[in-house]
Amino acid sequence: MALTASITAFAPSSAFLPKTAIPSIRTISSLEMSDKGGGGGGGGGAEVAKSTKKGLTTITIDKIEQEQEQEEIPEEQWRVVLHNDEVHTFNYVIQSLCKVIGTLDRKRAFDICVVTHGQGKATITKSWKAQAMKYCLGMQRQGLTASISPESKFTGEDGGGGEGGGGGGDGPGTE
C-alpha cells in the first residue's frame, strides 16, 4: 500500500475523480466584427461572442483609390529643316533622305531637294521632338546640314513640308 500511496500523491487529483465530477469549462474567446448593426453590440466595432464554431474570420478593408485627373497636354510638333550647303549632289541628298527617313520615297526626296536648292532651306517632315532630333542627327551623320524648330516658333516659308515628309532637301551646288 505504501507504493500505491506514493503514486497517488504525485498524480493529479482529477485522475481519481469520477468522470461526472469533472467540471465543464466553456471558453468565450472569439471576436467578430459587427457591420450589420444587429446583435447586442450596437452598431459596429468589435463584439465578444460566445461561439463554439471553429474557423477563421477574415476582415477585409476596402481601400478607395482616388483617380487624379491629369490634364493631357498635347506635345508640340517640331519641324526637321534641311539647309542648302552647295556641296552635295541631288543624288546623294535623295539617297540620304530615303535612308534616314524611311517613309520618304525617291520622288518626294527629289521634290525636297528642288525646294531646298531654290529657297535655301525646306521642311523635311514634322514630328514630335524626340523623333525630330533623331531625324536631324541622322541627316547630320550623312554630312548634310539640318536643324529642328518648334512649329510655333518656325520662321520662314513652309518649303513644301508637311506631316509625313514635307518639302526640303539639301540642294546641290554646282557639280
Beta pairing, strands 121-127 & 78-83: antiparallel
Looking at the domain assignment, is residue 124 inside a domain? yes
d(CA 82, CA 78): 13
Which residue range forms the structural domain that includes residue 136?
Answer: 78-153
Alpha-carbon dihedral sign for residues 45, 46, 49, 53:
positive
Are the C-beta atoms of 98 and 170 separated by less than 8 Å? no
Looking at the domain assignment, is residue 107 inside a domain? yes
The number of domains in the chain is 1
Looking at the domain assignment, is residue 98 inside a domain? yes
Q: How many other β-carbons are positioned within 10 Å of the β-carbon of residue 42?
A: 10
Looking at the domain assignment, is residue 117 inside a domain? yes
Specify the residue for cell string 450589420.
36
Computed over every residue of the chain, the mean pLDDT equals 72
Specify the residue for cell string 481601400.
63
Q: Name the nearest CA neighbour of 128 among 73, 74, 77.
A: 77
Looking at the domain assignment, is residue 51 inside a domain? no
For the full predicted model, state whether its pTM sits above 0.95: no
Looking up residue 138, the CATH number of its domain turns out to be 3.30.1390.10
pLDDT digits (tens, 9 = 90+) for 59-73: 777 777 666 666 777
Looking at the domain assignment, is residue 26 inside a domain? no
What value does the mean pLDDT take over residues 121-139? 95
What value does the mean pLDDT take over residues 129-148? 96
